[in-house]
Structure 1
Amino acid sequence: MTGDDAELRVLIVEDDPMTAEAHGDYVRRVPGFTVAAICLSGYDALARIDALADAGTPVDIVLLDMSLTDSHGLDVAKRMNTRGHGADIIAITAVRHLQVIKSAISTGITQYLIKPFTFAAFREKLENQRAFRLNLSGDEAGSLATQAAVDNALSALRSVSSERLPKGLIEETLAAVSGVVRDSMSPVSATEVGARLELSRVTVRRYLEHLVKTKQAVKQPRHGTPGRPEYEYRWA
């Protein structure tokens, strides 16, 4: 990264193709970030990060799953570090074991995001990482950090999102509702989403309204519904 406004290049390492593409879509929605590559295995990730560095387009951030089909994410992170890559690594995984989390921290993984998660939580992790990098960026090799810069950088990684789910909403259901809206080719109503997920229209509508409030979805009246209009939702 050559300046504060330069885009950060993100390498996504995730063995499920649909999940990997979803993470890629999330990255593209956050200003200041671009997808450098998507890798479906640890072996591919190591080869790709080397190739990108050799081509003069090094990776800034790695989004790394812990449970890959060919290797463990911790092993991949260790190999990336021993090869001298300066990329920051964010674990994105469903693994919740404390020992894995402790090992991830000792390996140099800077943030840990547990699946499933909202776009707001994902965006916060990326923006935290950018703040961390900016606080520790120097003008030249060998430059020294100030105490304030170190404190600010570490504080950025420790920040907690103020965007909490309203009482009664749970992350897993929100992720399911979000997935239906995001993957639909046309706007969908609360009734339609409820039918797909076997949830009541009232329940689904609460989640949809939360997506609208957090600007992840757009609400609009459905055409052809005279009288009291039925609303439909599309991904923002």
Structure 2
Amino acid sequence: MTATPVRVALVDDDALTLELHRSYVERLDGFAVVAECGGARAALTALADPAIAADLVLLDMSMPDGTGLDVLRHLRAAGSTIDVIAVTSMRDAATVRATASLGVVQYLVKPFTFATFRERMTEYRALHERAAHAVGSATQEEIDRLLSTGRSPAPAPLPKGLSGDTLDLVGTALRARPLTASEAAASTGLSRVVARRYL
């Protein structure tokens, strides 16, 4: 018997991004797109429709008619426990904290590769299936597994030839202030070519 696919609603104000995300979802087994929404208001209307019955929302945080946080707050205030993955270019700490407090299960920073998307969706699918099959009282180990999947994903593997230590060094320098390749090289002691590669 085939497992029921995870029903996914896509929310993004950019039509090309919606198309890309739909194509990504369609390449995965066990997922089906059930709604595509071009803004916050359209998302709230679609997600309130029992015929759509989405399990998961891939939610942009920045849209002209309202933010993803507005959508999340409205859903939670209405008692919805629908799973949400934030899919956004916003990476400020306040937004990340706010989405976490509203129960997002993943936070994907645009742009990302299909490999990263597939990994996160696979992790989500495992979480979704464990939650669906949970019965009775959970053990501490089961609770830990349910809460950790999607909250602390393993870092994506670095491209060949890049070092985690050097990436951390460049990242630390960049967190202090924006840098050009030459400035990053001077700040870190790396060659300009290496600094540029890590940037």
Q: Give the TM bin, normalised by the shorter chain.
A: 0.7 to 0.9
- Residues 18-97 of structure 1: pairs in structure 2 closer than 5 A: 18-51=16-49, 53=50, 55=51, 57-97=52-92
Residues 77-135 of structure 1: CA deviation (Å, up to 9, x unaligned): 11112223332000000001011101110111121000110001111111111111222
Structure 1 counterpart of 2:173: none
The residue identity in structure 2 corresponding to 1:147 is: Q
Question: Does residue 158 of structure 2 align to residue 164 of structure 1?
Answer: yes
Q: Contact 2:116/2:156 (CA < 8 Å) preserved in 1? A: no
Q: Which amino acid in 2 is paired with 1:87?
A: I
Secondary structure of the residue aligned to 2:48 is helix
RMSD (Å), alpha carbons = 2.0
Aligned to 2:132, which of 118, 134, 137? Answer: 137
Cα gap change, 1:117 to 1:139, in 2 (>3 Å): closer
Deviations 1:123-162 (A, max 9, x none): 111111111122223466xx43222221122332223155
Candidates 147, 151, 157, aligned match of 2:144: 151
Structure 2 unpaired stretches of 5+: 163-199
Query: 2:102 aligned with 1:104, yes or no?
Result: no
Alignment of 1:210-221 (within 5 A): none
1:127 is paired with a residue whose SS is helix
Identity %: 37
For 1:117-132, list aligned pairs within 5 A: 117-132=112-127
Work out the CA distance in 2 between the residues paired with 1:80 and 1:163: 34
The two structures have a TM-score, normalised by structure 1, of: 0.63
Report if the CA contact (8 A) 1:131-1:153 is conserved. no
| Aligned residue pair count | 161
Instruction: After the TM superposition, list the runs of 4 or more consecutive aligned residues in structure 1 that deviate by more than 6 angstroms.
Output: none
